[in-house]
Amino acid sequence: MDVRLLGTAGPLGWPAEGCGCASCGRLRAADAGRAPTALLVDGAFRLGEGRVPAGYQVRPLPGTPSAHDVTGPDGARMLCAAPGPLPGSALDWVARAGAAYDLAFLDLVAAPEQLGELRRLGAVGPATTVVAVHVDHRAPSPHELDRRLSFWGAGLVPDGTVVSSADPPVPRPSAPYRVLVLGGARSGKSEEAERRLAGEPTVTYVAAGGAGAGRPDDPEWRARIAAHRARRPSGWRTVETTDLAAVVRETGDPLLVDGLGTWLAAVLDECGAWDTDAPAQATPSQAEAQVRRRVEELVAAWRATRRYVVAVTDEVGSGVVPETRSGRRFRDELGGLNQRLAAESEEATLVVAGRVLPLPPPWP
């Protein structure tokens, strides 16, 4: 089955006529506009329009009649979703349909997590070619969208491209693969980490401060935790632990660790190592030795892991010098940990005001 993408944008196109947003402005400046999504199947018919030729089976999905399941004369299967996420009734239908699709055209700007769900259901398999459609100014730019799609094993193609069921799928990161995401408070670092794993069928989310982390009696804190949980796809599993090294050493599905600052604070607390009143010692105390051991265990586990791991951490190098000894201790410990994990990572990125700055690797 060969599918020509006559257009790949959302219903209003990209840029949208009369829209003054920065995303649309970037496309106008680059003269890189996209027409609304339209698919020409095998040069024989436009999907969703007119008569379907003999030999093809086209079925609208429940709850979203503008999304279609298509089977060609050669037995190739294609899924084309409507704008927005697939509703639960459509996902249930797709799960019952059987084998994985050869081609999947999805709105991954609106709902990247639907790709992970389709993989979990078996509708998208290792050989499925996934292409983003209905793209528009919900994404900052085609370049940024293409960066995100690379995490999910999906592609962004120009209008007019022919995509074939014989095309190889877009690769996605394979384990072992380690990513360190750094950023300040409210920088968007957690969202970036979650976004990276949105296309995975299952993910283990590690709340690294343990079950009692944070301020459970604070309504604002509880609201922040609830917001984090609401962003996670339903197929994600949550583990609350401070034994982070043990989790990283295990084999299994991808890990999202959020975050190393909370973990370090919990470790300092568990080891009784804050020591705010005592003067600095020339030799490590018993508590400090315990902290060193925990840090070394984590670094060794990170280096040896066979998993795909994304860890969120606080960038502490740009702030003011803390007034307290405990604050300076935390800053120094976390800064050192960040350096060591970054050195053992395939990728390290810094998030500033929601914008992602890939850090260059320590090699040519």
Q: Residue 53 is encoded by which pair of tokens?
A: 């030729």
Please check whether residue 221 lies inside any domain of the structure: yes
Domain final residue, candidates 133, 164, 195: 164
Residue 323 domain-assigned? yes
If asked whether residues 185 and 157 sit together in one domain, one would say no
Residue 137 belongs to domain with CATH number: 3.60.15.10
For 72-124, write each residue's pLDDT tens digit.
999 999 999 999 999 999 999 999 887 899 999 999 999 999 999 999 999 99
Residues 204 and 246 placed together within one structural domain of the fold: yes
CA 88 from chain center: how many Å?
A: 21
How many Å apart are CA 356 and CA 187, to the nearest integer?
10
Say yes or no: 283 and 227 in one domain. yes
- Which of 111, 142, 164 corresponds to the end of one domain? 164
Would 363 be classed as within a structural domain?
no
- pLDDT at 243 (0 to 100): 96
Task: Report in angstroms the alpha-carbon separations of 18 from 34, 249, 355.
Answer: 15, 53, 26
Do 112 and 184 reside in the same domain of the chain? no
- Helix or strand or coil: residue 237? strand
| 329 and 208 fall within a common domain | yes
Is the domain of 197 the same as that of 306? yes
Buried b (16+ CB within 10 A) or exposed e, 174-204: eeebbbbbbbbeebbbbbbbbbbbbbbbebb
Q: Beta partners for 308?
A: 177
Instruction: Decide the pairing of beta strands 203-207 and 177-183.
Output: unpaired
Distance, C-alpha 3 to centroid of its chain: 27
pTM given for the model: 0.90
Does residue 189 sit in the same domain as residue 157? no
Three-state SS at 144: helix
Q: Examine the domain organization and report whether 38 and 140 are in the same domain.
A: yes
- Known catalytic residue at 134: no
Structure tokens of 44? 């024989």
Asked if residue 184 lies in contact with residue 312, where contact means CB atoms within 8 angstroms, the answer is no
- Tell whether 158 and 74 lie within a shared domain: yes
DSSP state of 45: E
343 belongs to a structural domain? yes
Using DSSP bridges, classify how beta strands 177-183 and 347-352 pair: parallel, antiparallel or unpaired: parallel
- The range of the structural domain enclosing residue 262 comes to 177-358
Whether 188 is in a domain gets the answer: yes
Return the number of other C-beta atoms located less than 10 Å from residue 264's C-beta. 25
Q: Give the CATH number, domain containing residue 182.
A: 3.40.50.300
pLDDT at 321: 81
| Overall number of domains in the chain | 2
Separation CA 260–CA 53 (nearest Å): 57
Place of tokens 């405990």: 326
**How many Å apart are CA 31 and CA 29, to the nearest integer?**
6
User: What is the tens place of the pLDDT at every residue in 19-34?
Assistant: 999 999 999 999 999 9
Q: Which of 164, 198, 220 is the last residue of a domain?
A: 164
Q: Collect the ranges in the chain with pLDDT lower than 70.
A: 210-218, 221-231, 275-284, 363-364
Domain identity same for 80 and 186? no
Identify residue 274 by its one-letter amino acid code: W
In a shared domain, residues 102 and 207: no
In a domain, 172, yes or no: no
Q: Name the DSSP class of 347.
A: E
Helix, strand and coil in the chain, % to nearest 5: 30, 25, 45
How far apart CA 310 and CA 312 sit, in angstroms, is: 7
Residue 282's pLDDT is 41
Interhelix angle 88-96/113-121, rounded to 10 degrees, is 30
- 270 and 143 fall within a common domain: no
Q: Is residue 26 part of a domain?
A: yes
